[in-house]
């Protein structure tokens, strides 16, 4: 395995933002009773996903516009590191494909979501993409997933961050979760920040999403 593939494998192992299902909150800073979190919580329930707030992080306002639509966002204070989350139920994925005149199964919408966001975010198409290995997917009750490592456009929307690691996971007949990790560097500090977010999301099992 060459050094590039080794790096992306390490990324996958380090930053899949999912862990044991729980409704508890760690030592992060969530804006109690915020409308953003209430909306996010409803989206999680519809998609059959459990969320645990990661220690050390702080809730921030999610970006939502024509090109970028996210349910929730977190930052690691004073670290120049953010995570934006987008959760879609099965119905929402069906509607997404219909609105874009795409003929593919709803369970395949995850691949469209991540590629669409890579195009919108990046300044080139030289993306480093990898499927997520089955042994990682099984930890999070997911069936399929991908990662994209991209160079970002210099844009105020992405707060002039330089790099993004995009992750998408999907569970058949349930929904998908898309996460983008924003950073200004790709070295050891990036990996460390990823580990700080190791307690975040997981598909429920058995899955009983609200349809």
Which pLDDT tens digit goes with each residue over 27-82?
455 655 589 999 999 999 999 999 989 888 999 999 988 777 899 999 999 889 99
Mean pLDDT computed over 10-21 = 45
CA pair distance 27, 90, nearest whole angstrom: 31
Mean pLDDT computed over 147-154 = 92
Q: Residue 20: pLDDT above 60?
A: no
pLDDT at 3: 53
Q: Look up the pTM and report it.
A: 0.82
pLDDT at 207: 44
pLDDT at 5: 47
Q: Which span out of 8-17, 18-27, 168-177 was modeled with the highest average pLDDT?
A: 168-177
Return the domain boundaries, the chain.
3-203
- What whole-number percentage of the chain has pLDDT above 70? 78
Q: Residue 90: pLDDT above 60?
A: yes
Count of other CB atoms within 10 angstroms of residue 186: 15
Count of other CB atoms within 10 angstroms of residue 15: 23
Comparing 32 with 114, the larger pLDDT belongs to 114
pLDDT tier at 10, thresholds 50, 70, 90: low
Backbone angles phi, psi at 164, to 5 degrees: -145, 135
Angle at the Cα of 126 from the Cα atoms of 125 and 127, rounded to 5 degrees:
95
Which pLDDT tens digit goes with each residue over 158-196?
999 999 999 999 999 999 999 999 999 887 887 777 666
pLDDT at 21: 34
pLDDT tier at 150, thresholds 50, 70, 90: very high
pLDDT tier at 17, thresholds 50, 70, 90: very low
Long-range contacts of 73-78 (CB under 8 A, 24+ apart): 74/28, 74/197, 76/193, 76/196, 76/197
pLDDT at 206: 65
């Amino acid at each position: 395995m060459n050094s590039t593939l080794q790096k992306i494998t390490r990324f996958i192992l380090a930053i899949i933002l999912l862990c044991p299902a729980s409704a508890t909150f760690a030592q992060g800073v969530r804006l109690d009773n915020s409308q953003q979190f209430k909306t996010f919580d409803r989206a999680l329930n519809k998609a059959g996903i459990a969320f645990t707030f990661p220690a050390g992080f702080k809730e921030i306002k999610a970006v939502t516009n024509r090109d970028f639509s996210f349910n929730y966002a977190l930052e690691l204070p004073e670290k120049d590191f953010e995570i934006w989350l987008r959760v879609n139920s099965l119905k929402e994925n069906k509607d997404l494909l219909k609105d874009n005149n795409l003929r593919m199964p709803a369970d395949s919408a995850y691949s469209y979501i991540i590629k669409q966001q890579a195009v919108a975010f990046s300044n080139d198409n030289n993306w480093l993409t990898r499927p997520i290995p089955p042994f990682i997917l099984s930890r999070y009750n997911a069936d399929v997933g991908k990662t994209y490592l991209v160079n970002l456009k210099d844009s105020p929307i992405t707060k002039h961050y330089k790099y993004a690691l995009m992750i998408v996971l999907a569970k058949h007949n349930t929904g998908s979760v898309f996460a983008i990790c924003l950073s200004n560097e790709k070295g050891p500090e990036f990996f460390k920040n990823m580990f700080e977010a190791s307690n975040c999301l997981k598909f429920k099992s058995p899955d009983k999403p609200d349809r």
